[in-house]
A = this chain, B = another copy of it.
Amino acid sequence: MKRLNIVLIGMGRIGQMHLKNISTLPEMFNVVGIADPFSDKLADLADEYNVPKFSKDYKELLDKEKVDCVLIASATNTHAEIIREAAGRHLDIICEKPIDTDINRIKDLLKYVDECGVKLQIGFNRRFDHNFAKIRSYVQNNVLGTPQIVKISSRDPEPPTMDYVKVSGGLFFDMMIHDLDLIRYLSDSEVEEVTAKGAVLVDPNIGKLGDIDTAIVTLKFRNGALGVIDNSRQAVYGYDQRAEVFGPKGMAKADNDRNSTVELNLKDNTQLDKMPWFFIDRYKQAYISELAAFYQSVANDKPLVVSGIDGLRAVQLAEACRKSLDSGKTVKVEY
């Protein structure tokens, strides 16, 4: 198996997590450089992970014959430019979601990526989660029949900061976008229409910023299935991540993970263990699996599990949800 030389761009919290995860796959990747225009930890990180090069300017690291691919974990508004630069150098790309917030810009970019003939995988890590991947395998193997009802519950343990809410694009774009991608994956179909209902029940400040914190979206799929996603910005009991597919031959549902299987029986109650705290814990293995899948695509020319088109679709669906919420009406999704 050939090892891929990879450069990581963006060394914030998520970038560092990817660096650590890549270090657990030494048979797949050599990290040959890390870049971040703002970080003052580059030298320390390079030392700890034996990375030979680092720079504030990622382009310096790409100007080499020795690089095979890049991982982009920088700010969303830099994704498009970096993708363009990397694709132009014929490097394969794995990029955090979303590609961009502007649908037309995404379309242009995907066209360019296509012309360059490089692979572009988008960071919808939940597709690689052990629970959701298991449901997906049942769908693909026709264990359930063509899906009729698809459900996702996705609730964060705590709301983001107001600073984040101001720039995030809103619940549909920064939170539900994961579920909109996942429900396409689990239903194995495209969404035809969405109906979004929202409310401000967690924090009135979120409402003052023009966003919602609680939402239920219903969807109709091309294959006839109905779907529903519910979101909340705050589940005090933990990061609630569940999904279900119902079809004519059966139903598969994924419950939450817990930190252990231990059942504690006391006089007053019986307790189960805690859920993993938020996405870095909950999707720990999924983040590693998405890297391994990217490796398979690049090194062995396997099809991408999450393509650039998938990245585009999720933004289009989020856009449709916002229109539905604003208008109070069901909205046909435009592709």
CA distance A240 to B255 in the complex (A): 16
Interface residue? A103 (CB, 8 A): no
**Once the chains bind, are A257 and B261 in contact (CB under 8 Å)?**
yes
Interface residue? A130 (CB, 8 A): yes
Chain A residues touching B, majority SS:
mixed
**Once the chains bind, are A264 and B143 in contact (CB under 8 Å)?**
yes
| Chain B residues with CB below 8 A from A87, complex form | none
| Chain B residues with CB below 8 A from A323, complex form | none
**Once the chains bind, are A265 and B248 in contact (CB under 8 Å)?**
no
Nearest CB of chain B from residue A272's CB, rounded to whole Å: 4
Q: How many copies of this chain does one complex carry?
A: 4
Total residues of chain A contacting the partner, CB 8 A: 75
| Chain B residues with CB below 8 A from A199, complex form | 148, 220, 224-226
Partner of A226, one of B138, B197, B259, B274: B197
CA distance A255 to B260 in the complex (A): 9
Given the interface contacts A24-B24, A199-B224, does A251 sit within 8 Å of B235 by beta carbon? yes
**Once the chains bind, are B23 and A26 in contact (CB under 8 Å)?**
yes
Query: What are some 10 contacts across the A-B interface (CB < 8 A)?
Result: A23-B24, A26-B48, A27-B48, A131-B260, A151-B153, A195-B197, A201-B224, A252-B262, A252-B265, A269-B269
Extra contacts besides A148-B199, A253-B262 (7): CB < 8 Å: A26-B49, A131-B261, A149-B232, A195-B330, A197-B220, A236-B249, A271-B272
Interface residue? A135 (CB, 8 A): yes
| Chain B residues with CB below 8 A from A330, complex form | 195, 328-329
Nearest CB of chain B from residue A317's CB, rounded to whole Å: 16
CA distance A52 to B172 in the complex (A): 50
Q: Which of A72-80, A104-112, A210-218 contacts B (4 or more CB under 8 A)?
A: A210-218
Given the interface contacts A199-B226, A251-B235, does A273 sit within 8 Å of B216 by beta carbon? no
Interface residue? A266 (CB, 8 A): yes
